[in-house]
Structure 1
Amino acid sequence: MDVFMMIRRKKTTIFTDAKETTPVHELKRMIEGILKVPPRDQRLYNKDNQLMDDDRTLQDCGITVATAKAQCPAQLGLAIRENSGDFEQLDLTPYSLPPDLPDVMKNQ
């Protein structure tokens, strides 16, 4: 079955889907195709900010059809190795809030 994920890093959000049985390493290869960052330079974190092991499947990491639906995807964090060789701190920039509705559009 397909699971749906939002992979976030700073101001970047990637929406993707995969099978529950997909290994974390394969998900990193999908990210490589988008961001051009090799899997060895990526770290993925689950919703509890725990590092996800490359050899485990998404299902092993708690990403299942029940927890990662299309209308409510699982949120993962992404950190990338910097030029110094160290991984950056996990940084998920909050989404901005929409402005208030103008008075003419509010119910009276």
Structure 2
Amino acid sequence: IKPEVATGMEVFLMIRREKTTIFAEAQESSTVLELKRIIQGILKRPPEEQLLFKDDQLLDESKTLRDCGFTSRVAKPEDPALVTLAFREDAFQLLHTHP
């Protein structure tokens, strides 16, 4: 068993958008914006184009993952927590396809 880093405990996340799934790990103390930067490194989409959701609730960029309910108890390597990713144009299309 390795000691945890002073900055916080690790959380394991499964980020999904349509047919794309990304597995990521971060610290509980990381912000949602930092998570968006991880996604940017993989999908090449800037944070301002990304919308991240937990249980259909939009995540605030300034909050930590811990503040959003992602802790090492609920976001484990063998059972990562689900985060839904949408891009701004997805939300725009949804708004205009349902009158």
TM-score w.r.t. structure 1 length?
0.76
User: Which position in structure 1 is the counterpart of 2:24?
Assistant: 16
User: Which position in structure 2 is the counterpart of 1:3?
Assistant: 11
Structure 2 alignment gaps of length 5 or more:
1-8, 95-99
For the aligned residues, what is the CA RMSD?
1.5
1:27-38 matches, within 5 Å, as: 27-38=35-46
Counterpart residue identity of residue 72, structure 1: D
Structure 1 consecutive aligned stretches of length 4 or more whose deviation exceeds 3 Å: 85-89
Flag the structure with higher strand content.
2
User: Given the alignment, which residue of 75, 78, 88 partners 1:71?
Assistant: 78
Choose 1 or 2 for highest CA Rg.
Answer: 1
**In structure 1, what is the Cα distance between the partners aligned to 2:74 and 2:43?**
25
Flag the structure with higher helix content.
2
TM-score w.r.t. structure 2 length?
0.82
CA-CA distance at 1:86 after TM superposition: 5.1
- Distance change >3 Å, CA 57–CA 87, structure 1 → 2: farther
